[in-house]
Chain A
């Protein structure tokens, strides 16, 4: 039997970030407007595989999803064994910019989920003229923590198991089992301390409450979509953030949780396609 081949292709790029060479893995599919997708903390770019496999989207969008350094098939930079991984706003912004410049993308749309949804706000704020639009999934300028990240990386608790079991409740009850468990697998296989290092950015170094009001949505339109079952970045967090950004559009998605693109891709499609249709119309 001949296997079914997906239209996705994968590549590695070597790019300098903060003077260190990083080997970054990315996948892409489609042609047209570049749509760069940012995965959640402690996971990898395969969360967006359903978008990359959606001919209704890849007809007009070149959908690109990359694994941040330390995640998925991207390597940590050489010397990683001598340091604790800790993501910051500055490093995250520089990584996304280096990736986009490395591929010579012109005016891409950036879509990120969770911590990816947080950084798109900073990108819209500080580099809005470089992007056609930003889409924040499970995105807010700040949110209240709900557990101690010390549990994520210690010798007497399996980091992957506890990470997956913590975030399992962020998946909506309606999500199909197949996709719920695929989403959790991303956490189960994450490198030691990586989820915790991402959460340094998310918890400690990205309180944008005083700054998001300066985003100019005429230059860089902002779309925020949050699942009603997300109790980490709650619908209230997203609506409060949208209210501070003049011109931002917010949508609360029914029957979805914190990982809409991978926990229930069919349901998510109903919400994301109209946004992508609107963005297509921009010059």
Chain B
């Protein structure tokens, strides 16, 4: 990972993007998230997250990206191994 920068990111080029509603993201970050907020695709299925762009880099490295997201879980949770 090269950098973490706060938004908003205006007119920024990207290969793909993951958008998650703020309320859903807060639920996802809970140490033991509620059903439906425990995984990126669960939130996509609920319509509270969406993935756009060229998906190959995401899908070819899916474990990495899901574990990257799960690192944002609150610190009392063991982030490694959750896989989303």
**Bind each other:** yes
Interfacial residues, chain A to chain B (CB-CB below 8 A): 144, 146-147, 151, 156-158, 161-162, 164-166, 168-174, 177, 180-181, 184, 228-229, 231
Contacts A147-B41, A162-B60, A169-B41; is A231 near B66 (CB within 8 Å)?
Answer: no
Partner of B81, one of A146, A156, A177: A177
Question: Which one of B42, B56, B59 has the greatest number of beta carbons of chain A within 10 Å?
Answer: B59
Apart from A157-B60, A173-B82, 17 more pairs, CB < 8 Å: A144-B45, A146-B44, A151-B55, A151-B59, A156-B60, A157-B56, A161-B63, A165-B63, A166-B41, A168-B39, A168-B63, A169-B84, A170-B39, A171-B83, A229-B38, A231-B36, A231-B45
Known contacts: A177-B81, A180-B81. The answer to whether A231 contacts B62 by CB under 8 A is: no
Contact B41 A146, beta carbon cutoff 8 Å: yes
Contacts of A172 in B (CB 8 A): 38
**B66 near A228: Cβ-Cβ < 8 Å:** no
Known: A165-B83, A169-B84, A173-B82. A229 touches B63 (CB 8 A): no
Our pick among A158, A161, A169 for the contact of B42 (Cβ within 8 Å) is A169
Residues of B within 8 A of A (CB): 32-33, 35-36, 38-42, 44-46, 55-56, 59-60, 62-63, 66, 78, 81-84
Q: Determine whether the beta carbon of B35 is less than 8 Å from that of A169.
A: no
B36 CB contacts on chain A under 8 angstroms:
231
- Tell me if A161 and B62 are in contact (CB < 8 A): yes
CA distance A165 to B64 in the complex (A): 9
User: A229: which of B35, B66, B78 is its contact (CB, 8 Å)?
Assistant: B35
Measured between beta carbons, the chain A residues less than 8 angstroms from B33 are 173
Contacts of B63 in A (CB 8 A): 161, 164-165, 168
The reply to whether A228 and B35 contact each other, CB–CB distance below 8 Å, is: yes
A-B contact pairs, 28 of them (CB 8 A): A147-B41, A156-B56, A157-B59, A161-B62, A162-B59, A162-B60, A162-B62, A164-B63, A165-B62, A165-B63, A165-B83, A168-B83, A169-B40, A169-B66, A170-B39, A171-B83, A173-B82, A174-B32, A177-B78, A180-B81, A180-B83, A228-B35, A229-B38, A231-B36, A231-B39, A231-B41, A231-B45, A231-B46
Question: Complex formed: what's the CA distance from A228 to B82 in Å?
Answer: 17
Bound-state CA distance A170–B42 (Å) is 8
Contact check, A231 vs B84: say whether CB atoms are below 8 A apart.
no
User: B residues within 8 A CB of A177?
Assistant: 78, 81
Give the chain B neighbours of A181 by CB distance below 8 A: 81
